[in-house]
Amino acid sequence: MTSEGRDLGARLRSRDLAAAPAALNLIEDRSPGARDEAARLLAEVSPAALGGEAPAHLVGVTGPPGAGKSSLLSVLVKEWRDAGRTVAVLAVDPSSRRSGGSLLGDRARIDHDPRDRGVLIRSTAAGGRLGGLAAPTRQAAQALAAAYEVVVIETVGVGQSETDVEEVCDTVAVVVQPGSGDTLQFIKAGIMEVPDVLVVTKADLGEAAARARRDLDAALRSLGSHEVPVVAVSSVPPPQGIEELVSALEGHRSALDLPLRRLRSRRMMALGELVAEHGDSALRGLGGRRAAERRLTREDPAADVAALVRALRAEAGVE
């Protein structure tokens, strides 16, 4: 018997980019039958099926509204494509309270050639998730990572609770704009613990951008962090600083213990999905969060998130 999910997963595993839109449609369909098929799809792109971690560089791009994330992604996508790399962007928008769908439609704001089959840009709703990433977005990133060379998750807003993107992505870039007061807000919110790269937009403003960069450098030093690069960029033609930013993103990934980071990511996502579905009572059934984390260490490191969630459900008695 054929399975739509298995077929789409196998096509993504073979880098068939034409399967990506149908795969995302399946993942976003939350009906019971579609969820079962989505689980089969994700099993086909799990580390066990791939023989290792998915090849994509998972990049998170986050920052306050109006910081210039969409303009930045427009030039970043072009830079990656000029280098011959395939790119998928999941633009996470605030959810409509009425429909649950995305409100802003970031896909329309990111410039790209719609005829270029090496680029996929998809708007997806936050779904009311406090951390900013609903389950379908997390699953979509896992699926696309098997087929594309770069997968970007763009989120709106920055705050202490909005660190889901750190759990999912290999590298997180936080975007700020000059003269916005974002530097002070980051220090207050503790958000400086999140980024792997800091990006100051609108470098064409000159001294204001240079001052913001110096302030961020000073803030990092005061927090004892000397390894986070601060890159000033401009998306205004001709773009500035984009090559330096791409180099900083790739430099961070190359220094990672990627299997360890991805393993931690899957475990954190499994815990997040368990709580989202069953509440804190499920964690109590496991003896608390630390006990749940210890329980996950007994699972196969190549297991996908769905398998980890099933194991936690069974242990907590919430099947």
Helix (H, G, I), strand (E, B) or coil at 199: strand
Give the strand pairing for 230-232 and 197-200. Answer: parallel
pTM to 2 decimal places? 0.89
pLDDT tens-digit series, residues 130-178: 556 778 898 999 999 999 999 999 987 655 445 678 889 999 998 888 8
- Class of residue 98 by CB neighbours under 10 A (exposed 0-12, middle 13-18, buried 19+): exposed
| Distance (Å, whole) CA 282 – CA 308 | 14
| Distance (Å, whole) CA 201 – CA 70 | 11
pLDDT tens-digit series, residues 218-271: 877 777 776 889 999 999 889 999 999 999 999 999 999 999 999 999 999 899
pLDDT tens-digit series, residues 78-99: 999 999 999 999 998 764 434 4
User: Token pair of 75, please?
Assistant: 């030039």
pLDDT tens-digit series, residues 263-303: 999 999 899 889 888 998 999 999 999 999 999 999 999 99
- Residue carrying structure tokens 């073979």: 14
CA distances from 201 to 60, 73, 150, 156, 169 (A): 16, 11, 21, 15, 21
